[in-house]
Structure 1
Amino acid sequence: MPKPKITFIGAGSTVFAKNLMGDILSFPELSESTLVLYDINPERLKTSEVVAHRLAQSLGARPQIIATTDREAALEGAHYAINMVQVGGYKPATVLDFEIPKKYGLRQTIADTLGIGGIMRALRTIPVLLEMARDMERLCPEVLHLNYVNPMAMNTWALLKATRIKTVGLCHSVQGTAEQLARDIGVPVEEINYLCAGINHMAFYLKFERGGEDLYPRIWEYLESGQSPQRLVEGAPLADKVRYEMFRRLGYFVTESSEHFSEYTPYFIKRDRPDLIEKFGIPLDEYIRRCEVQIAGWEHLRAELEHSTQPLPVHRSHEYGSLIIHSQETGTPRVVYGNVLNHGLIDNLPHGCCVEVPCLVDKNGIQPTRIGSLPPHLAALMRTNINVQELTVEAVLTGKREHVYHAAMLDPHTAAELDLEQIWNLVDELLAAHGDWIPEPLRSREAVVRS
C-alpha cells in the first residue's frame, strides 16, 4: 500500500507531537510513512526531529522524517495534516487574555475555548488557520486536516465554512471523561458503551452503559456517597465538583473538566462570591500556572529528550488522530468523536454550527452520525455557547468589529460579571493590546458606531 505523507503543523509542540507520532508509528501499516515536521521555531523543531528518530528506533519503524520551517514544502502533496499551533504563544497573547480582563474584575481558569479569552484566541488563530487552508487548497487539495487547535468549535466552524479543505476537529474530552467516570464507578472502561453528543467541551453522555445496564445510577451513587470527586491534572489534584454539581442539576454528565466548565456558565466564578470559588475548588488562572510550569521545565525536558541514551518509552495515547489515519489507509472501521458542521445531525442546535458527534471512519473518510434531538435543557445550555462561537466566527469572516463586542456581550460568564460599557471597553483594550495579532479590519474602530 502507498505510504502516506503526514504533516505536523506546529511540530514544536514536542510532547504532543511525540504522543501522536508514537501512536502513528505503532501501527505496522503506518511505520514507513513520511512524517514532515513543520514549525516556525527552529530550536523546538530540532527537538521534535530528534524525538521522531528516537521513537522510530524504539518501535523498529522506518519512516522518512523531514523537518522544515518552509510551510509550502511541508504541505506539498500531504495526505494528512495534523494541526497543533498556538498563535501568539504564552507571551504575549495568553498573558494578555488573563491580565487585562482581571483589571475589570473578570477572572478566568483556562480561557482557550469560550469567554473573553476564547474570543481573543479565536480572533488571532482563525486567520492563520485560514491562510494555512488556502495553502492546502493549492498544494494538497485532497488532504484530511486534523485540527487539534483551540478554540476547537470556532476554529473548525470557520475552516469548514470558509474553505474547501476536509477538516475534522479532534479533542480528547469525550474518551478522557469516559475513562475518568469508569474509574469513579469502578467499571473497566473497555466494558462500557456510551453515546455522547453536543458541542466541543459541552457534550453530554446520552447513554453510559455496560451490557445493557444503565450505569448512570452508579454515577449517582458515587456522587451521593460523600466522596470528594478528585482527579489528577498533570500531577496536581483538582476537585471535579463543578461537573458533579452540573450532573446533579441536569441529570447528564458533561465531557469537559470542571476548571474548563466553570467559565462556560454564569454560575461559579463571581467576584463578590469567594465562597463559591472555595466551595467548588475553582482554580483561577490555572492555565497561566500550567504554562509557567511547562516553561520552567522545558530545558530539562529537552535535554532528556535529545540526549538520553535510554530507549524512548512509547505508550499509546487516547488521541484519535492515528486511528483516523489508520482507518482511512486500511479500511478498518472505527468510531471516533469529531467536530463537524451540523448538517442534519442534531435537530435542536442551529444548522451549520460546529457539533461534536460520533463519526464512523473507514476508507470513505469521516462519516458523522445523526443524533436527532438532544434533551431540551442540554441543547438550551449549549446554545448559550454557540451564540458566542457564531458571532466570533462571523467577526473574523466578515471583518466586522462590532460582532466582537456582540460575542462578548452574549458570553455567559462575561455578561454575568460586567455591564455593557465595561464589556465594550474591555474589548477595545484587548484588541489594542493584541496589535498585529488581530487582522486589520477588526483593529479599526472607524466603522463601529458608539454613543
Structure 2
Amino acid sequence: MSFKIAIIGAGSVGFTKKLFTDILCVPEFRDVEFALTDLSERNLQMIKLILDRVVEFNRLPTKVTATTDRRAALKGARYIISCVRVGGLEAYADDIRIPLKYGIDQCVGDTICAGGILYGQRNIPVILDFCKDILEVAEPGAKFLNYANPMAMNTWAAIEYGRVDTVGLCHGVQHGADQIAEVLGAKSRTELDYVCSGINHQTWFIDLRLNGRKIGKDELVAAFEAHPVYSQQEKLRIDVLKRFGVYSTESNGHLSEYLPWYRKRPDEITRWIDMSDWIHGETGGYLRYSTETRNWFETEFPQFLESAARPIDPAKRSNEHASHILEALETNRVYRGHFNVKNNGIITNLPQDAIVESPGFVDRFGINMASGITLPEACAATCISSINVQRMSVHAAISGDIDLLKLAVLHDPLVGAVSTPEEVWQMVDEMVVAQARWLPQYADAVPAAKERLSKSRIKTREWAGAARRDVRSIEELRAEKTALKQAV
C-alpha cells in the first residue's frame, strides 16, 4: 500500500517516533510516505534524522520528508495526525503561573480548568487553519486524527466548524485498564473486558468483566486498596471510585483538577496527592516534566539518534490508537478502541452536541461507534459540568468574545470552587494579555484588558502552589537515571 500520512507538530520528537514505528509495524505500510511539519525547523530536522535512521537500519522503502510549509506536507495526504502545542512551553508556563496568583493550583492544566481553557483558545484558531488546508489540498475524504489537548475542544472545533472528518485520540482508557487488570491479578489485559464511556479525561469503566466474570465496586475498591503502589498513588481516584461506584480513566493528578472538591484548599491538596511522580498531583507537574524532557532531549540528542538504529519489533507496538485505526481502515482487520467523536446518540444522558469518548469498532467502512450507552447519574453530572465549559470555550475561541471566555472560566468546576467572579474576570484579562501573540481572535479586546488591569485593586499573590517541585538539571536527571539502572 502506498499513501501519505502528514504529522503536524512532528517536533514532539518522542511521540512522533512512537507513532512512526507503530505504523511501520503493519507490514502493508512499508511503502507509506510520512510528511513531517512543524514551526521549529530545528526540531523538525532532529526528528527527521531519527526517523531516517529507523528507516535505514530496517532497510525499508518508507519515504520521510520534513518541511515548515504545512500545506506542502498536507498535499495529497490521506491521514493527518496533529500533536501540536500552540505557544509551546512558554505559553504553558503562563497557564500554570497566572492561575496560581489567584489560588488555582493545577497539576496539568491542559484539558479544562483555567489553563486548559486558555490552551484551547490558542489551539482552536490553528486547528481551523489545519482544517481549511486539509479540505483544500489533502486527499479527498482525508481523516484528521487529533492527539492534541484540550482533546474535546479541539475535536469539537474541527468537526463543528472545520467540517473535516475528525476523530480525537487519547490513551487514558488503556492506562486505566492496565491498572485494573493488575490489581485484579490478571495475567494480561486480554483477560479484562470492559465498557468505558464518558468524555475525554472523564471516562468511566461502567462494566468490567475478568474472564467473563462481572467485577463489582466492592471487589474493585478492595483490590486497589490492597495494592502496595496504587493505594498510595491513586488516593483521590480510589475515593471517587468509592463514592461514584465506578473507576475513572484519569490519573490522580488529572482527575483532581476536573472536580471542585479536592484541590480547592491548599492544606487539603497534599492529603489527596502523591509526590512519587508528577502525574499523581504535583503542582504544575506536567510543566516540570515537559521542561525536563525537552532539556534532556536537546542535551542527549546523540543518544536518541543512536537508539533509533534498532529493529522495529511488532511485539512492542504501543497501544496508541493511530496505527490500529489506519490498519483497520486500510486492511479491514477490525479494531476495537475508544474514540472521541460527536455524541449523536452514543451516550443517552449527555448533550448530543458534546464530544464523547466511548467504544467503537473500525473496519474498512470507518469508525462505527456503539450507541445507546447510559452513564451512572453521578458520572453524567460531572461530565455535563465540563461539557458546558467546553462548549462556551469553543464558542469563545471562534468568536473572540472575551466576556464569553470569562464565563467559561467562571463555570469551570475547580475555578468556581476557588475564585470569586471579580478574580476570574481579572485573571482572564491577565492571561489574554500575557498570551496575546497566540490569541489573534482577541486582538481587539487586549487594549481594554490592559486598561482594566492598570486600574485593578484585586490583590494577587506570588505562590508556587501547594506541592511544587523545581525543574531538575541535566546532571540531576542523569544521576537519577544511573541510580535506576543500578537498582535494576
TM-score by length of 1: 0.93
> 1:369/1:447 Cα in 2 relative to 1: closer, same or farther (>3 Å)?
farther
* Aligned pair partner of 2:241 in 235, 240, 247: 247
CA spacing shift, 1:275–1:163, aligned 2, 3 Å = closer
Partner of 1:233: none
Identity of paired residues, percent? Answer: 35
Once the two structures are superposed, residues 313-372 of structure 1 have per-residue CA deviations (whole angstroms, 9 ceiling, x without a partner) of 653111000001111111111111110001111111111110001121111111221033
Contact 2:328/2:362 (CA < 8 Å) preserved in 1?
Answer: yes
Contact preservation (8 Å) 2:53, 2:308: no
* Alignment length (residue pairs): 440
Query: Does the CA contact (< 8 Å) of 1:34 and 1:64 recur in 2?
Result: yes
Cα distance, 1:210 vs. partner? 2.1
Higher mean alpha-carbon deviation, 393-402 vs 221-230, is at 221-230
Q: Deviations over 1:270-326 (max 9, x none)?
A: 24x414423433311111210221132122332212356853665311100000111
**1:317 counterpart residue number:** 318
State yes or no: 1:64 paired with 2:63: yes
* Cα pair distance change 1:446/1:89, threshold 3 Å: closer
Say whether 1:385 aligns with 2:378: no
Corresponding residue number in structure 1 for 2:15: 16
State the distance in 2 between where 1:124 and 1:441 align. 10
| Distance in 2 between residues matched to 1:388 and 1:442, nearest whole Å | 22
**Residue 456 of structure 2: aligned partner:** none
Question: What residue is the counterpart of 2:359 in the other structure?
Answer: 358
User: Deviation string for 1:54-111 (max 9, x for gaps)?
Assistant: 22244443211111111111001100001101100001x0111111111112111100
The C-alpha deviation readout for 1:214-253, integer Å capped at 9, x for no partner, is 13354222134374526xxxxxxx8111111100110000
C-alpha separation in 2, matches of 1:306 and 1:299: 11
**Could you tell me which amino acid in structure 1 is paired with residue 210 of structure 2?**
R
State the SS of the aligned residue for 1:263: helix
Residue 261 of structure 1 is matched in structure 2 by: 255
Compute the TM-score of the two structures, normalised by the length of structure 2. Answer: 0.86
Q: Could you tell me which residue of structure 2 aligns to residue 294 of structure 1?
A: 293
* CA–CA separation in structure 1 for the residues paired with 2:181 and 2:262: 26
Q: Deviations over 1:169-219 (max 9, x none)?
A: 000001111012211221121111111110000010111112320133542
Q: Which among 83, 105, 109 is matched to residue 111 of structure 1?
A: 109
Structure 1 unaligned segments of length 5 or more: list them.
Answer: 231-237
Counterpart residue number, 1:235: none
Is the 8 Å Cα contact of residues 431 and 443 (structure 1) preserved in structure 2? Answer: no
1:95 is aligned, of 86, 93, 104, to 93
1:5 and 1:376 map into 2 onto residues whose CA distance is 44
The CA deviation at 1:37 is 1.1
What are the residue-to-residue correspondences of 1:37-436 with 2, within 5 Å?
37-91=36-90, 93-140=91-138, 141-187=140-186, 188-216=188-216, 217-225=218-226, 227-229=228-230, 239-271=233-265, 273-281=266-274, 282-307=281-306, 310-311=309-310, 315-436=316-437
Structure 2 SS opposite 1:66: strand
Q: Which runs of 5+ in 2 are unaligned?
A: 275-280, 453-488
- The two structures, once aligned, show a CA RMSD in angstroms of 2.1
SS of equivalent residue, structure 2 residue 263: coil
Deviates further, 179-188 or 245-254: 179-188
Secondary structure of the 1:358 match is: strand
Moved over 6 A (4+): 445-448
Separation in structure 2 between the aligned mates of residue 304 and residue 160 of structure 1, nearest angstrom: 40
The Cα shift of 1:447 comes to: 9.7
Q: 1:312 to 1:94 in 2, by over 3 A?
A: farther
Looking at structure 2, the residues matched to 147 and 309 of structure 1 have their Cα atoms a distance apart, in angstroms, of: 25
Whole-angstrom distance in 1 between the partners of 2:448 and 2:426: 16
Distance 2:76 2:226 in 1: 56
Q: How far, CA to CA, are the matches of 1:224 and 1:44 in structure 2?
A: 43
